[in-house]
Amino acid sequence: MPVPALAPYDDANIFARILRGEIPCRKVFEDDHALAFHDINPQAPVHVLVIPKGAYVSWADFSANAGDAEIAGFVRAVGQVARELGLEEPGYRLLANAGIHAHQEVPHLHVHIFGGTQMGAMLPR
Ligand code: 5GP
């Protein structure tokens, strides 16, 4: 079920459990601000999720409430992961679903990195 972008943070969400090491993931990157791991149900040859270590529900929550160091660290981590995955050329797509209209399912901010294939133009209608 999609979740509201500004719901209260739920410590039991699946990505919080991955951050606490309660559930395994196929990790590709970790630093002070972010963790990146392969999506369990990939939608492209490369499909990696990057999450901040702080407890933020969505981009709406993060952009309003995270500190500057957290925001800079997270944004840099997304770029570094894409670079380290060798995706800068020929390119990649970032996606962050926020809230019900976007069909956000996990209520911990995550950016999807898609790559490894020629993608279509923008959104299917
Ligand atoms: P959303 O729709 O919230 O933007 O995307 C959530 C993503 O999390 C989906 O692509 C889904 O496949 C992925 N996902 C859900 N549960 C798990 C899990 O336990 N492990 C991993 N690695 N990915 C998950």
Q: Which of the residues in the chain have pLDDT under 50?
A: none
Say if ligand 1 is within 6 A of residue 40 CB.
yes
- Look at residue 46 in the predicted model and tell me its pLDDT: 98
Burial class for 107, CB neighbours closer than 10 Å (0-12, 13-18, 19+): buried
- Look at residue 22 in the predicted model and tell me its pLDDT: 98
Say if ligand 1 is within 6 A of residue 25 CB.
yes
The answer as to whether 62 is a domain residue is: yes
Say if ligand 1 is within 6 A of residue 50 CB.
no
The answer as to whether 75 is a domain residue is: yes
The answer as to whether 2 is a domain residue is: no
Q: Domains in the chain: how many in total?
A: 1
The CATH number that applies at residue 93 is 3.30.428.10
33, 101, 103, 110: the catalytic one is: 110
Active site residue 108: no
> Using an 8 Å Cβ cutoff, are 15 and 36 in contact?
no
Instruction: Identify the three-state secondary structure at position 125.
Output: coil
The answer as to whether 79 is a domain residue is: yes
Cα–Cα dist 101/109, whole Å = 15
- Percent of the chain scoring above 70 in pLDDT: 98
pTM: 0.97
- Look at residue 35 in the predicted model and tell me its pLDDT: 98
- Look at residue 57 in the predicted model and tell me its pLDDT: 98
Say if ligand 1 is within 6 A of residue 58 CB.
no
Residue numbers of the domain that contains 74: 14-115
Distance (Å) of CA 125 to CA 97, 101, 120, 121, 122: 16, 14, 12, 11, 9
Closest C-alpha residue for ligand 1 atom 21: 40
- Look at residue 110 in the predicted model and tell me its pLDDT: 98
- Give distance in angstroms: CA of 38 to centre of ligand 1: 9
Cα–Cα dist 116/125, whole Å = 23
- Look at residue 122 in the predicted model and tell me its pLDDT: 83
